[in-house]
Amino acid sequence: MSGSLAWRVFRWTVLLLLAAYFLIPLWSMLDFSTQAPGTQPGRTLEAWRALVEDPALREAIIASLLLALFTVVLMVLLLVPTMVWVRLRVPGASRLVEFLCLLPLTIPALVIVVGIKNVMLWVTYFVGDTPLALTFAYVILVLPYSYRAIDAALSAIDVATLSEAARSLGAGWTTVMVRIVLPNIVPGVLSAAFVSVALVLGEYTFASLLHYDTLPTEIALLGKSQATVSVAASLASLILASALLLGLGLFSRERRTSEGQ
């Protein structure tokens, strides 16, 4: 009994320490971002209002959100069919694909930027000089994390048998992907998507060195002139990323519960 009580106390202590570790900085950011300018007393939401009213910041936020969306879409379109195809048709190439997908993890972002700078010139030539051109670079950046998440989900189902069963019932490859494979790897794709969103919303090196205005570069810039707005924007992006990850957790639990029933 005393053992279980000690264990419970230990668990709560760890939980409280972790909560403090995460929440105190967030609380401090909120506190700082709502302080009145100078030595004036009281609270103000000026910094938070600036998030939507400052045109440069607003544009940077929209650009980052669009970048996150396009990166996720392109990553799913590129990775899911490739990984399914490799599993079904060329399983011998799975190690090579895994190696290629994990490669960006081992190369510093700075080196990648230098390497793809010339390629980006072509990209901007075709899609225009917009921050959204970063989508192509960000897809490379999120590959390692997305690959792991989707690979785990694909390993949990018998892709070969399910797709052959669907094919024998009359399904073409698009139908197999959209109606059979994708619904069964939703948790993996969502994990990949949310990790990608979190990465894109926090990515600074690529955007800064390739001279695009995104949320992180704008936050860094504001940090030099309007510290409270910069902190408000940082807190907002942290809250957004946390909400997405929390949503994923709740969705996965909901799915498990409904399937369990």
Partner 1 sequence: MASDSGLAVNFNSVTRVFGSVRALDGFDLHIAPGELVALLGPSGCGKTTALRILAGLDQATSGRVDVGGRDLTRVPANKRDMGMVFQAYSLFPHLTVLENVAFGLKLRGQDRASRHRRASEVLELVGLSEQGSRYAHQLSGGQQQRVALARALAIEPSVLLLDEPLSALDAKVRSQLRDEIRRVQLEVGTTTLFVTHDQEEALAIADRVGVMNEGHLDQLAAPADLYAQPATRFVAEFVGLNNRVPAVVVSGRAEVLGTEVPTIEGSLAQGPGQALVRPESVTVGRDGGANASVVSVSFLGPISRVYCVIDGGQQVMAQVASSFAVTLQPGDRVTVGVEPTPLLVIAG
Residues making contact with partner 1 (CB under 8 A): 157-158, 161-162, 164-172, 175, 180, 183-184, 259
Select from 187, 183, 177 the least CA-distant residue to 152.
187
Pick the closer one to partner 1 by CB: 55 or 183.
183
Do residues 234 and 217 lie in contact, with contact meaning Cβ atoms separated by under 8 Å? no
Pick the closer one to partner 1 by CB: 180 or 207.
180
Q: Phi/psi at 43 (nearest 5 deg)?
A: -120, 155
- Cα–Cα distance, 31 to 77 (Å, whole number): 42
Closest contact distance (angstroms) between CB of 187 and partner 1 is 11
Do residues 250 and 89 lie in contact, with contact meaning Cβ atoms separated by under 8 Å? no
Pick the closer one to partner 1 by CB: 40 or 161.
161
- How many other β-carbons are positioned within 10 Å of the β-carbon of residue 206? 23
Closest contact distance (angstroms) between CB of 168 and partner 1 is 4
- Cα–Cα distance, 4 to 6 (Å, whole number): 5
Pick the closer one to partner 1 by CB: 96 or 160.
160
Closest contact distance (angstroms) between CB of 80 and partner 1 is 15
Closest contact distance (angstroms) between CB of 160 and partner 1 is 9
